[in-house]
Each structure stands twice: as structure tokens, then as C-alpha cells.
Structure 1
Amino acid sequence: MALVPYVENSLPILSKFHNASAQFRFCNRDINIVQDWKKLGVAAVVWDAAIVMCMYLELGRVELKGKTAIELGAGTGLVGIVAALLGAKVTITDRLPALDSLSTNVKSNLPPDISELATVSELSWGENLDRYPAGGFDLVLGADIVYLENTFVPLLKTMEHLCSDTTTVLLSCKIRYERDTAFLDMLKQRFRVEEVYYDEERDIRIFKASKLPQKDDL
């Protein structure tokens, strides 16, 4: 998660991010997400990668009901909210500055009878990972978290810690720059990776990954 300052009269393509809220319809429910670009920048707006990830989760190609999931770099929490609505027990994480806004969105969009399925928690990639069980998740989710090159190594370290041999990783992203492809190459050194979905309209790809056995595991 990066904090990007708000700039008045920015590019028209960014105008939707300056809205105080964004509305969606997933899991037969209306979801209202509070946005605050001025305060938190990219961490507090809904990006297309999150929308496409939610669409993919709704397709049911990955079992969520009763599964233990964690979302990395959750931002507004849309993906984690949808995962909880689909029956997963989700730990929704981001860095400390984003947690108040994230918690507000989670609490306001989950009905009381399933609110216990979602927990908001601080996680800075590569730091204090012992707070989270090693290999303790069935599913690791990330939407548009591959964009800062200096985060690639701690992100991979975090993913390796969270994943067991049976964990499924889903990453939703737009391949914008050469460094994005470089991250995928790094990922393939430790994970089995395949592209499982492509939204042509938004130019968003979803990659599914599973941990490769390492030499010391053989």
C-alpha cells in the first residue's frame, strides 16, 4: 500500500476516485464503499482489479465457503467483503494508516449474522509475519498490489509465509510496465503460476498460483 497525495484537477481518468463513495452489487447485495483519495491516495479508492477479482470470485471457480482466506493490501476492503459474503473466514489486511477507513467499510457492508467472518488486521509485507500462522490459509487474495518494485521481495516473503502446499493464491492486476512482468517471473521461481481469467474491457488479468515444493521439502 502506498500513500499518494491528492492533486486537484488531476487526469479525468482519475475523477471517479475523487468521489466520496463507490457503489457495487455483488452477492445479491448493494455494497457502498467509502473512498478518501485526498487522505490516503491509492489505498482508499476502488481499483478495477478489485472489481474484476470480485467478479471472478462470484463465478464460483474457487471454493470459498468454509475456507480461511487473507487479503493483502486490501485498501477499501471490497475483495475481502465479497469473500466473506461468499462464506470465507477472511483476514483483511493493510498498513496502519488505511485501517480506520478499511474497518468502516467492512463493518458497514457485512450483515450482523456474518460479521464474525471478517477481521481487519495490520500487515506490512515482510514484517512481523509471526503474527500470522505459517501456511495457515486456504486462500491468499491480492488485487492491484503489484506496482511498487521495492515491495516485490517483502511481498513474496509474505506470500511464502502464509502459504502451505495446498494454498491457492489469486492475484488480480493490470500488466502496465516491464517491472510487473518481472514480478511474475520472480513469483514463478517459487510458485506454480497460471493465468485463469482476463477482463478485456478493463485489461485486468487474474493469476492463480500455488507454492512449489522447495529442495529442502523433498
Structure 2
Amino acid sequence: MSSTVKSSLSLEEKKYEFSGHTLNITTFKGASLGVSAYVWGPGLVLCRYFEDEKFNFTGKKVLELGSGTGIVGILAVLLGGDVTMTDRAYVLKQIEYNVSANIPATSRHRSKTRALLWGTDQNNFPTDFDIILGSDIVYSPSQFPGLIQTLLHICNDKTIIYLSSNLDARVGSENFHQEILPKQFNSEVIHTSGGNCIYKVTKKSPRDEH
């Protein structure tokens, strides 16, 4: 990144420690990224869960939705995964900056960054992901239909989804997890931390829906 671009942004860097890895995560303040220019609690809770449960993503094809800073997806790469980090197109430079800062060149072939607008771009993606990750992506009811549409497309019957959500602080989050998601997905709370809940989610088979 050029010094000109750096000076026009207010870059804030913070260190995080997970699973024996030090992550230097930079947020692009002043770049009009809105909620994407923060490291939110549910993402840190999900990273800590991977650490506590000694997750190993080796051999797994992973998709992260709403990557934001990329902290969760980057950790998944460092833990062995083949990870595609996605967000709206204007957020990708921030993700790519953090990928370059945290993923060694020898592992970068297991990291991809792509634009994905829920409900619009999902058909450009394959349906053979082993794991879907999403942290603090359930916060705007207007986005819920597109999110469900995207999850239905990218999941197969073996895909496991991990959603980390702040039920106390996000409008409609409780309704999404208790009413909307269960219509087409099996969902269970596997971890709680304060107001944050991690859900393990799988797509219902046709016979489950009747």
C-alpha cells in the first residue's frame, strides 16, 4: 500500500493471540467501511472457541461470510484451512492488507478473497464447502433474506456452519436464530460468552422440513 493511501486513511493496528499465533489486525478507519472497520466481539469469541477446542482446519474447504477485517478467516488459514474470505467489494482491500500481514507466503495459496453480496452473488460460488464461518453477520433484518438465500446455495448436506452472534446488541438477531434460521436449518448453541452465542448449523434435508 502506498504512503499516499496510508496517509488518507487512519490505520489502527492491534495484536491478538490465538492458538499460538500472533495476529496483527489493521482496521481502515476513515475509509467509509462502516461496521466492517472494527473487530467485533463475536469474531473474537469464535477465534477463542477454535483455540479452546483445538480446531484443525487442515484439508477443509472453508468459506467466511462478512469477513470484515479477516481475523476469523486468517486464523482458519493459519490452522490449516483452504479459506475463501468474502465481503462486499469495497471491504476487500482491508481483508487483503491483513492477509498479507499475517499469512506467510508459503501458506497464501490457501487463502482467497472474493466479493460476495448476499442474495446476489452466491451463484458465482461452488457448493462443496466443508465449513462456513460467520461472526457478527446477523445484525440487520433487511439482510436476513439474502443471507438465508446465500446459505441455502453454498451449503450441501455435509456442510457445517459456525455462526457467532451477539443476541443482546443486534436488532433481530434473536428472531433470526430462533425463528427464521430453523425453518430450513438445524441449529444448536454450542458455546456462550456474555451475550455472544456460537451456533452450529446444518442444512435440513427435505424430509426434515416436513
Which amino acid letter does the alignment assign opposite residue 100 of structure 2?
Answer: K
The answer to whether the 8 Å contact 1:102/1:120 transfers is yes
**What's the offset of the Cα at 1:62?**
5.2
1:3-26 CA distance string (max 9 Å, x none)? xxxxxxxxxxxxxxx871121012
Which amino acid letter does the alignment assign opposite residue 196 of structure 1?
Answer: I
The answer to whether the 8 Å contact 2:25/2:69 transfers is yes
Which amino acid letter does the alignment assign opposite residue 66 of structure 1?
Answer: G
2:136 to 134, 144, 147: 144
The runs of at least 4 consecutive aligned structure 1 residues that moved more than 3 Å come to 60-63, 215-218
Which amino acid letter does the alignment assign opposite residue 194 of structure 1?
Answer: E
**What's the offset of the Cα at 1:32?**
0.7
Q: How many residues align?
A: 198
Residue 104 of structure 1 pairs with residue 97 of structure 2? yes
Q: TM-score, normalised by structure 2?
A: 0.88
Which amino acid letter does the alignment assign opposite residue 25 of structure 1?
Answer: E
Structure 2 unmatched ranges of 5 or more: 1-9
Residue 55 of structure 1 pairs with residue 48 of structure 2? yes
Structure 1 unmatched ranges of 5 or more: 1-17
**What's the offset of the Cα at 1:217?**
9.7
**Structural RMSD (CA):** 2.0
* Superposed counterparts of 1:1-218, under 5 Å: 20-39=12-31, 40-60=33-53, 63-133=56-126, 135-176=127-168, 179-184=172-177, 185-200=179-194, 203-215=195-207
**What's the offset of the Cα at 1:41?**
2.1
Report the identity percentage.
34
Using the alignment, how far apart are the partners of 1:179 and 1:61 within structure 2?
A: 31
The equivalent of 1:13 in structure 2 is none
Q: TM-score, normalised by structure 1?
A: 0.85
Which amino acid letter does the alignment assign opposite residue 192 of structure 1?
Answer: N
Relative distance call for 1:53 and 1:216 in structure 2 (3 A) is closer
